[in-house]
A and B are shown apart, each in its own frame.
Chain A
Amino acid sequence: MLRQLRMTDFKVFNEIDFQFSQGITAIVGPNGSGKTTILEAIEFALFRQVTRKEKTVRNFEDFIRHGRKRAIVELEFRAPVNRRFYRVTRSIHPGKTNADLYDDAGSDPIVSGPTKVDDEIVRLIGMDRHAFSTLTYVRQGEIDRLSRLPPKKRRADLYSMMGLGIYDKTEDRVQKQIRELKKRMSSVEDTKQRLESIKSHLPAPDEIASSRESLERIKDKLGESDDIVQILGVIEKVETSLQRVIDHLNSPELTNEYEEMKEEREAASYLKEILGVLPEVAESQLKPEIRSEAREIFRGIFGDRYSDLVIDEDYNVSLYDLRGHRVSLTAASGGEDVCVNFALRVAVNTALQKQAAHRIPPPGIIILDEPGAGLDTQRRKWLPMAIAGLKTVDQVLVVTHMEELRESADRIVLLTPQGKQRQPMVDVIE
């Protein structure tokens, strides 16, 4: 949950404070009044990343207000992990960014430096940027995405919404470990091969022993001589070399440890196999929950036309109209499409919350960027109300230029451009 956002010389804003509270906050303003900038500032503060039109923006210098040297964003948020408040400050300078993270009360940062702050925030929020944004951000133009995707992609999308990406991520780490083991094993194999080859070029131990005996016999016949000492020296050298090669070949590094690596690799491969199966087990458990939640939300908005929303095994979403006819999502109207996607996102959030024993609670916030596109006036009004009724979502941020959405908001932030590159005028209505 977010509490406060402060921006200094960040795009159109030269100095501004936004308070966020529980319930629905609508940020209303005409095109270009800086509505989306507010969302970008939030995303930047949390994850040092900004997504615009489905692309990641990397050049943060663009965010510095024209004619200024640096931009500062400060955000206070409550960490779902421990329900405590934190404050993150990030500044953008030409060519670099800085970051500090503070405890709610503290005046000294608990963590400093962009990367360290990134990591700490991921820990506090309990999920990375990707998971957070799929769960909370419903972006401009992205809302009917699900129905445009091919089934396989759609499944992947929903998986990641459900947080099942965690299995993929673990699988990746296992795969990395397997690769590492493979590399180490092949280097051991190389060494072994090289030693074997040297060994094959050296005489065998019994050959050396019999050479020694032969030399003894020569010594018995001819008596001690420098020549014999010389030859014995060579034989001993060869013997030592051979012993070394044999010792190395029998060393734990090349024997037991190799076997251990082999066993570990087998275990890891097996682990990887199971990790591939688990998401489906977990999913089959989460899906019914998500479906019934999504159905409730969808019917809250389209209950006068539809009776049901069904997700089949292939993640095709279909609707049933009030006559009991199946309507595939591709045949549904634009507004219905928007609503299905919306219902699914929110349902995922609520379904996860219901997994009470689950370690990390979902963020409890939903951000809707121009969510009403494609919906008629009446349904636009129902949209935020449909979410506000859900107990798991403490905070809803709606960014819109549509006045209809205003009336269902608990708090309205009105942005009015003032021209001449001045920052927009901000009115708060409660």
Chain B
Amino acid sequence: MVRIAHISDSHLGSSMFQLIERREDARACLKKAVDMALRHSPDILVHTGDLFDSPEPHPDDINHVLKIFKDIEDTKVIVLHGNHDIPYGYKYHHSPIRYLETVEFVMTTGDNPSSVHQYDIDGKQVDIHLISWTRKKQFQKILGDMEPESDIAVLFAHDIPVEIDELPIHYDYIGHGHSHNFKLDEDMAIGCPGSTHIIDWKRELGKKRKLIVADIDKNGTEFTTETLNDIREFKFHPGLDITGLDAQSANIKMKDWLKNLSPKKKDPPIVIVRVNGMIFAETEKGIERNSLIEFGEKHLNPLFLHIEPNWNVVGPPELDLSRPLDVKRSLEEYMEFKKDPKKELVIEELQKILGE
């Protein structure tokens, strides 16, 4: 049996809301994911790319990665180049993953978008095919050229830019990253663990991140998964609605909601409130954005409190033109709305002028 532990997308160096603390969180989350993976004693630990958020990572991040990988024994470590690791999306030789390969801590696709390897694991021959970030056409070409020779074959790619039915069936596991949300299709044996921490809250909050462990033998593949929680606590409230309220009531409603949040824990959380609704411009002007945030910070003592204005402003309740850029139609509707007795006359004049 061959055991593969699969993680992805650590984006070291990314920092939500430009918070320096989140850079540390990212490092801690990667460490946590690798430790969790190693507890399963895998033959292969694969990270399917975007280890770093930028091709020029901060020395602290590189150092952290070196520390994590240098102590790994008896497990082959594979790291792909993700789109964030490669300068300009094509200069593979300038990717920081290459440093890790040079010191022989990891294996990657070298200076190329792809590579093919064959190993003896547990007395069995295993084909490992790797595709780093590349363009769709090149991906299709590489995929077409890759032909497994052994009984057990796996494909790791940073991204799968093609439809699932375009993928060959000769792989026992296809693992990819790029998407930050966990997805595992056990029948097709295609898995994406998601990121190791929350990077973009809009896309990832409420979604799952998991370690995927695949056990492959000639009878098929069995999967075990384990949830990867961000080490930071997130409180997310997506549906605060202030429709129709005046500024004062809206301020009170938002304050009340902040008050009702559960009290602080030992690690300060990130709190995100999304405020929806339809309000008048006057209400919007009267919303005390800064004092609301200051109030919430005092009450909750969070690492960060973000109130996202998602409301829409409506004008005074006037006429709704059905086609605002159709002159004649708008004129008719406007004069109808105003009950203007000269309507017929004026429209006739417009038609005459427009030559209709």
Contact = CB atoms under 8 A, between A and B. Distances in A.
A281 B315 CA distance: 10
Interface stretch (B32-40, B207-215, B326-334): B326-334
Contacts of A167: 327
Contacts of B88: 403-404, 406-407
Interface in B303-321: 306-309, 312-316, 318-321
B90 interface: yes
A423 B308 CA distance: 51
B327 A166 contact: yes
Contacts of B315: 284-285, 287-288
Given A170-B354, A284-B318, A324-B289, A268 B325 contact: no
Contacts of A404: 88
A430 B134 CA distance: 10
A174 interface: yes
B322 A323 contact: no
A224 B322 CA distance: 84
A42 B309 CA distance: 40
In this complex, the interface size class of chain A, counting residues with CB under 8 Å from chain B, is 35 or more
A287 B318 CA distance: 14
A166 B321 CA distance: 15
A324 B293 contact: yes
What class of interface size applies to chain B in its complex with A? 35 or more
B49 to A, nearest CB: 14
Contacts of A313: 281
Interface string B192-208: 00000000001000000
B336 to A, nearest CB: 12
B116 interface: no
A324 B288 CA distance: 8
Question: Does more than half of chain A's interface fall in helix, strand or loop, or is it mixed?
Answer: helix
A384 interface: no
A291 B334 contact: no
A282 B307 contact: no
Interface in B335-356: 335, 342, 345-346, 348-350, 352-354
Nearest to A326: B289
Contacts of A163: 325
Interface string B122-146: 0000000000000111000000000
A155 to B, nearest CB: 16
Contacts of B18: 304-305
A277 B318 CA distance: 13
Interface string A261-273: 0011001101100
A429 B137 CA distance: 9
A234 interface: no
Nearest to B344: A267
A275 interface: yes
A267 B327 contact: no
A430 B306 contact: no
Contact of B327 (A170, A292, A403): A170
The winner among B83, B309, B334, B335 for most chain A CB atoms within 10 A is B309
Contacts of A360: 325
B350 A325 contact: no
Contacts of A271: 331, 346, 349-350, 353
Interface in B1-47: 15-18
Given A284-B318, A429-B135, A267 B346 contact: yes
B321 A281 contact: yes
B63 interface: no
A399 B319 CA distance: 42
A122 to B, nearest CB: 15
B169 to A, nearest CB: 26
Contacts of A270: 342, 346
A358 B323 contact: yes
A256 interface: no
B345 A267 contact: yes
B95 interface: no
Nearest to A407: B89
A79 B18 CA distance: 44
5 contacts: A174-B350, A282-B325, A307-B289, A307-B309, A352-B325
Interface of B: 15-18, 54, 83, 86-90, 135-137, 202, 281, 284, 288-293, 306-309, 312-316, 318-327, 330-331, 334-335, 342, 345-346, 348-350, 352-354
Interface of A: 163-164, 166-167, 170, 173-174, 177, 263-264, 267-268, 270-271, 274-275, 277-278, 281-288, 291-292, 295, 303-305, 307-308, 310, 312-313, 320, 322-326, 352, 355, 357-360, 377-378, 403-404, 406-408, 410, 429-430
Given A274-B335, A324-B290, A357-B322, 6 more contacts: A268-B349, A283-B324, A323-B290, A324-B292, A360-B325, A407-B83
